[in-house]
Structure 1
Amino acid sequence: MRKVDHDSRREDVAAAAASLIANKGLEALTTRALAKELGCSIGVLSHYFHSKEEIVIAAFRWADQRIDLRMQEAIADDSPNIESFFPVIKAGLPLDAESDLEWRVRLNLHTFALTHDTSLQAEREKNQQFRDLMTGMIAGLQNKGHVTKEVSAEDITSIAFDLVNGMAKNLVMCPFDEREQKAEYLYKLIEMLRPLPKP
């Protein structure tokens, strides 16, 4: 079997596992249920993953990568300014069905990561990489005079990171038609990052 086919099939398994976790909870993810979802045998699953833990980790990474990719695309602005923050914040929130599923997977698996050292370490490293990327963006905005220097780029990154993660956890419990409005105060906070006019 070609590697591209093997990788593609693993991706399919991870996506199906993520859907099960998001809709029914981590306890619903059994190899039997997953095989039924994919229309294959348990033996076929074992060809791609050696254990349920591997499948869980793959589902976790599937959801994380999709959220991170959207946020990185939002950061990749050729001429960033204060308005560049808005798409970055929105990209990290569960404001539609797709991002809602991804966040439900993330939230189901946070507890899992806390009790599995390899997953926890991978999550820490990934978070640090994203923080470094965002800190660099903010420092660049400060150097161009778009963002206040009263707060360090590192602190602004930490505040934004923690606010988005906390807000995302709250939003998944709200109806979709309320989420955008509930997130508006984050956008107001971004406005406060503008440097004060010189006297």
Structure 2
Amino acid sequence: MGHLRYIIRLQWRRRVKHHKHKVRKLRKVDHDSRREEVAAAAARLIANKGLEALTTRALAKELGCSIGVLSHYFSSKEEIVIAAFRWADQRIDLRMQEAVADESPNIQSFFPVIKAGLPLDVESDLEWRVRLNLHTFALTHDASLLAEREKNQQFRDLMTVMIAGMQDKGHVIKELSAEDITSLAFDLVNGMAKNLLMCPFEEREAKAEYLFRLIGYLGAV
């Protein structure tokens, strides 16, 4: 009888432990999901009204919650700004990753990747507006500047590896190093993105065409 009670208690403890673990896991998922929701709302405010419009009061109104609720997920405005930056960046990155061809990449298969990184529709337009607002913010906020530098370096490293692979397969000229081509493409795309934001949507695709022609010259003959 004592042995039976011991087994029952053991099973009960295991169930309680499993339940607590499950609750903690759900809370973690809910917490992360709520943080992403706050970051997305902050990004919309920044894109549509500028960085100066991002106040805790305005953000709480956008989310339909109290200011106290926001402090549960973020400890400062700068933390919210960095989260908004990462939210926009991750969405751009995801589109670019989805555009990467599965087969051996060449200059032509690289075009959809570049196109995915430009503000050619409403969604990517919002994300680029966030980026541009945060470039200015980062110049006077060390944590934001560090986050942006790290992100840019990660992207450059990824692109350098991709271009070096295309050079090894004879798809890209070798007169320029993979690092130089990366810098050229990176600066051209960033500059083009900023210029496209000034244009009506119906003109953006045509204005971006010369960029693809320039990059096309990097293909090995």
In 2, Cα distance between the equivalents of 1:125 and 1:51? 21
Deviation at 1:168, TM superposition (A): 0.5
Query: RMSD of the alignment, in Å?
Result: 1.2
Residue 181 (structure 2) aligned to one of 153, 156, 161: 156
2:191 corresponds to 1:166: yes
In 1, Cα distance between the equivalents of 2:103 and 2:179? 21
Q: TM-score, normalised by structure 2?
A: 0.85
For 1:63, the equivalent position in structure 2 comes to: 88
Deviation at 1:126, TM superposition (A): 1.3
Deviation at 1:72, TM superposition (A): 2.8
Residue identity opposite 1:77 in structure 2? D
Contact 1:20 1:29 in 2 (8 A): yes
Residue identity opposite 1:193 in structure 2? L
**Deviation >4 Å, runs of 4+:** none
2:209 corresponds to 1:184: yes
Q: TM-score, normalised by structure 1?
A: 0.94
Per-residue CA deviations over 1:11-52 (Å, capped at 9, x if unaligned) read 000000000010000111111111111111111111111111
2:219 corresponds to 1:194: yes
For 1:53, the equivalent position in structure 2 comes to: 78
Larger Rg: 2
Whose relative contact order is higher, 1 or 2, with alpha carbons under 8 Å and at least 6 apart? 1
In 2, Cα distance between the equivalents of 1:45 and 1:141? 46
In 1, Cα distance between the equivalents of 2:93 and 2:139? 20
In 2, Cα distance between the equivalents of 1:172 and 1:28? 20
Contact 1:13 1:38 in 2 (8 A): yes
May I ask how many residue pairs the two structures share in their alignment?
A: 196
2:125 corresponds to 1:93: no
For 2:143, the equivalent position in structure 1 comes to: 118
Contact 1:77 1:84 in 2 (8 A): no
Matches within 5 A, 1:34-49: 34-49=59-74
Q: Percent identity?
A: 87
